[in-house]
A = this chain, B = another copy of it.
Amino acid sequence: MDKKIETCSCNIIHHEIVSEVSSKMPNEETLYDLAEFFKVFGDSTRIRIMCALFEHEMCVCDIAALLNMTQSAVSHQLRVLKQARLVKPRKEGKVVYYSLDDEHIKDIFKEGLEHISEGR
């Protein structure tokens, strides 16, 4: 029994394909989480932070200097990265050193860089 589609004004052209694909789709929540995860990669400040941390563990102040940004802006973005479990902090006195906390980042970067290098 098909669910009523209310928001699409056009006719469904290929019923079979739609229901077949529908049955194979991962659940909504997984796809939402996936989008949330990639959203973290979708900001150049965060990309630059992760890129920097590929080379070295760094403290907030170093990162701010490197990126020529305020300490506050960097701290806010580190929080986003930390919540996504992409970076982890290591406290040493007053100083907090951040490093990458995920082995997928490198591969994801690689794939992304390959894609953009294939662009015209």
The distance from the CB of A62 to the nearest CB of chain B, in whole angstroms, is 5
Identify A55's interface contact among B21, B35, B65, B118, CB under 8 A.
B21
Identify A116's interface contact among B30, B65, B69, B116, CB under 8 A.
B30
Q: How many residues of A contact B (CB 8 A)?
A: 67
Contact partners of A36 in chain B: CB under 8 A: 42, 44
Q: Which among A36, A65, A116 has the highest number of chain B CB atoms within 10 Å?
A: A65
Q: Mark A29-54, 1 if CB is under 8 A from B, else 0.
A: 01111111111111110111001100
Give Cα distance in the complex from A8 to B44, angstroms: 18
The distance from the CB of A56 to the nearest CB of chain B, in whole angstroms, is 5
